[in-house]
Chains A and B, each alone.
Chain A
Amino acid sequence: MSSLVDYRTCPTTGLRVDRSAEKLIKANAVAAVVFLAIGGLFGLLVALTRWPAVHFLPADMFYLALTAHGLDVLLVWIIFFEMAVLYFASAILLNSRLAAPKVAWTGFGLMLVGALITNVAVLQGQSSVMFTSYVPMMAEPPFYLGLILFAVGALLGCGVFFGTLVIAKRDKTYDGSIPLVTFGALTAAIIAVFTIASGAIILIPTLLWSLGLVSHIDPLIYKTVWWAMGHSSQQINVSAHVAVWYAIAAMVFGAKPLSEKVSRTAFLMYILFLQLASAHHMLVEPGFSSEWKIFNTSYAMYLAVLGSMIHGMTVPGSIEAAQRARGLTKGLFEWLRKAPWGNPAFAGMFMSLVFFGFIGGISGVVMGTEQINLIMHNTLYVPGHFHGTVVAGTTLAFMAITYILVPLIFRRELVMRKLATWQPYVFGIGVAGISVFMMGAGTLGVARRHWDMTFADALLPFDYPAAAYLMMGLNGIFAVMAALGGLMYVVIVVGSVFFGKKLAEDEKPSYPEVPPASAAVSHYGSSETLRIPGTAFLVGIFFTAFVLYYFVNWKYLSEIWPLS
């Protein structure tokens, strides 16, 4: 027996929990939340500056804050949390010990040191080069060094995840195939390996260049390889948060996937094709053929979008099936009306699903259309889109699962439950507003990463339409709301981790309510009788919105100057 490994048994799930995995999950989750707080604060400063009536920061501080915001939330918060998800989905869900905890700790240390080095470099003011750090704009060497250390650390974490899969299979800690959630985490880990390798390929020579050891980095090649990291890192998020959706549906409803085959094939579409969308950033660059652009930007004929559209049905579908089997069968939507909207894990997860689909998903596909990109590239439409995917989608989903993981992993009762009930709504609606109004401003042409939309200091005048100012004001208001929601989250999590009532070894947490595993209701063989009319209706609305919005943008495109 593995006598050297220290296990406890989870009173809620009956799973055997490797304490070293548990410690790593805690450390990564805490680091994640700290950087979310820092990065979120920078984000608020950015939004307040872009609010024309407030125009909070001076130009140099604005560009500094924007660089730090991008790094801390887009990369640091999310990758730290993903490490926690990877260790949870491997060691905990597979009932296994974690492979090489020492390596995992080394990875954690490298990530932490790397993140700190890059943050200090940015705060010193000589590295305000944005998250993308496009050459030949140069940052100080520590900026790149920190990112490389962070990436190497994350790669070690992925290695530990794969190692744990091997150990669990060898030790037969589970029967048959890995759980669907673990498969989703595997998808994220695979994309992470490609992402990190691309990052290393481009950032190492760039570090040498900033040290004066390499004389020239081609800006177009840099940008191509950088986006293999920059965009793919967001595809890690998509895979991870879809896995989190399935996990929350299982933990809150005991829901079972409608079909393992369909859901896993949808993840396979991610593994194969999602990363091609790095080309979204290269559609109006010089020199690429339209063949390359069309094949890559469409994720090989939209097969990865097919994957997302499948998850978009199977996740709510599995919840509906579970709810109906529990007797909530009236009309189209009794199952949804009587869902636990006061449970922040469910509320956050369901809003994440809806906002990711309607706001982030549709806008991403439209913007990633080869020609339509011409009317959106580098406008505020772009951050509008990715706040819909990464914040309303990923961050909200990660926040939602925290409400389940804090009691289960940190063994503390949640504090401030009333506040927790409200948190996903305040944050979710705030972020949805940010996304929609930035997309609106982008449609009116407003540039992203821009300190002054009035162009007061420019030699030649130019004015955006008045509606653009309204959009940016609304964006500011909703950003304040989102920041408040983010603050609520940090307060609840930190409060619970440090001051929540300690749970005894065999004690089940009282909140949020998680049904016993026996509540699993939907099962295979039910495919003949599966009834999910409510989900079908919702999916129909989504599809209609998608088609209409897609063609409206072709109409917009057709109205600009002819180009060839």
Chain B
Amino acid sequence: MTENNKPDDAISSNPSDQEQIPLMQRVLDNPFLLLVLGIAVPAVFYLIWGIIEITQIPIAD
């Protein structure tokens, strides 16, 4: 036991908390990951895809 122990280690050494938190719960508990996803999805599918389509509208002859 050193002073460098991270809080996470302290928690996992507690037997009552041994069970690992499921991946999806960890995702939902991570606001910044959700922030990135919440910006990336509409930016890619709505904005970027949409603007690419606009720029590819052919010029009339």
B31 in contact with A271 (CB, 8 Å): no
A381 at the binding interface (Cβ < 8 Å) = no
Q: State the CA gap A275–B31 with chains docked (Å).
A: 17
Q: CB-CB < 8 A to A194: which residues of B?
A: 38-39, 42-43
B46 in complex: contacting residue of A162, A183, A191, A279, CB < 8 Å? A279
CB contact under 8 A between A292 and B49, given known A177-B29, A193-B39: yes
Stretch at the interface among A120-128, A219-227, A387-395: A219-227
Nearest CB in chain A to that of B39: its residue:
A194
A12 CB contacts on chain B under 8 angstroms: none
A267-290 contacts to B (CB < 8 Å): 268, 271-273, 275-276, 278-279, 282, 286-289
Cβ-defined contact, A177 with B39, below 8 A: no
- Is the beta-carbon distance between A272 and B50 smaller than 8 angstroms? no
Residues of B within 8 Å of A279, CB to CB, are 46, 50
Q: How far is it, in angstroms, between the C-alpha of A221 and the C-alpha of B45 when the chains are bound?
A: 15
Give the contacts of A107-162 with B (CB-CB under 8 A): 162
Majority secondary structure, A binding face = helix
Contact (Cβ within 8 A) A183 B28: yes
**In the assembled complex, which residues on chain A have CB atoms less than 8 Å from the CB atom of B43?**
194
Is A264 among interface residues, defined by CB-CB distance under 8 A? yes
B25, B32, B37, B45, most chain A CB atoms within 10 A: B45
Chain B residues contacting A295 (CB-CB under 8 Å) are 45
Contacts of B35 in A (CB 8 A): 162, 190, 193
Q: Which of B10-57 contact A (CB under 8 A)?
A: 24-25, 28-29, 31-32, 34-35, 37-39, 41-43, 45-47, 49-51, 53-54, 57
Q: Which residue of A lies closest to B55 (CB)?
A: A221
Known contacts A186-B31, A282-B50: A191-B45 contact under CB 8 Å:
no
**CB of A198 closer than 8 Å to a CB of B:** yes
B39 A292 Cβ-Cβ under 8 A: no
CB distance from B32 to the nearest CB of A (A): 8
Closest approach, in angstroms, between the C-beta of A191 and any C-beta of chain B? Answer: 6
Distance between Cα atoms of A289 and B29 in the complex (Å): 37
> Known contacts A183-B28, A186-B34, A271-B37: does B50 contact A288 (CB below 8 Å)?
yes
Residues of B within 8 A of A197 (CB): 39
Question: How far is A190 from B32 in the complex, measured between Cα atoms in Å?
Answer: 9
B42 touches A165 (CB 8 A): no
Known: A220-B54, A221-B51, A224-B51. A276 touches B42 (CB 8 A): yes
A74 at the interface (CB under 8 A from B): no
CB <8 Å contact, B46 and A289: no
Expressed in whole angstroms, the minimum distance between the Cβ of A137 and any Cβ of chain B is 19
Q: How many residues of A contact B (CB 8 A)?
A: 39
Chain A residues whose C-beta falls within 8 Å of the C-beta of B57 in the assembled complex:
286-287
Given A177-B29, A287-B57, A289-B53, A273 contacting B47 (CB threshold 8 A): no
Check if A232 sits within 8 Å of B51, measured CB to CB: no
Q: Taking the nearest CB of chain A, how far is it from the CB of B30, in angstroms?
A: 10
- A296, CB-defined interface residue at 8 Å: yes
Which of B34, B38, B53 has most A Cβ within 10 Å? B38
Determine if A300 is an interface residue (Cβ-Cβ < 8 Å): yes
A272 close to B38 (CB less than 8 A): yes
With an 8 A cutoff between CB atoms, is A505 at the interface? no
Cross-chain contact B39 with A190 (CB below 8 angstroms): yes
A228 at the interface (CB under 8 A from B): yes
Residues of B within 8 A of A165 (CB): 31
Bound complex: CA of A289 vs CA of B34, how far in Å? 29
How many whole Å from A303's CB to the nearest CB in chain B? 11
> CB < 8 Å: which of A183, A228, A271 contacts B38?
A271
- Complex Cα distance, B24 from A272, in Å, reads 14
Listed in ascending order, the chain B residues whose CB lies under 8 Å from chain A are 24-25, 28-29, 31-32, 34-35, 37-39, 41-43, 45-47, 49-51, 53-54, 57
Pick 30 A–B contacts, CB within 8 A, sort by A: A162-B32, A162-B35, A165-B31, A183-B28, A186-B31, A187-B38, A190-B38, A193-B35, A193-B38, A193-B39, A194-B39, A218-B54, A221-B51, A221-B54, A228-B42, A232-B42, A268-B34, A272-B41, A275-B38, A275-B41, A276-B41, A276-B42, A276-B46, A278-B42, A279-B46, A287-B57, A289-B53, A292-B50, A292-B53, A296-B49
- A contacts, CB < 8 Å to B: 162, 165, 177-178, 183, 186-187, 190-191, 193-194, 197-198, 218, 220-221, 224-225, 228, 232, 264-265, 268, 271-273, 275-276, 278-279, 282, 286-289, 292, 295-296, 300
Closest 6 CB pairs between A and B?
A: A275-B42, A190-B38, A271-B38, A287-B57, A194-B39, A224-B50
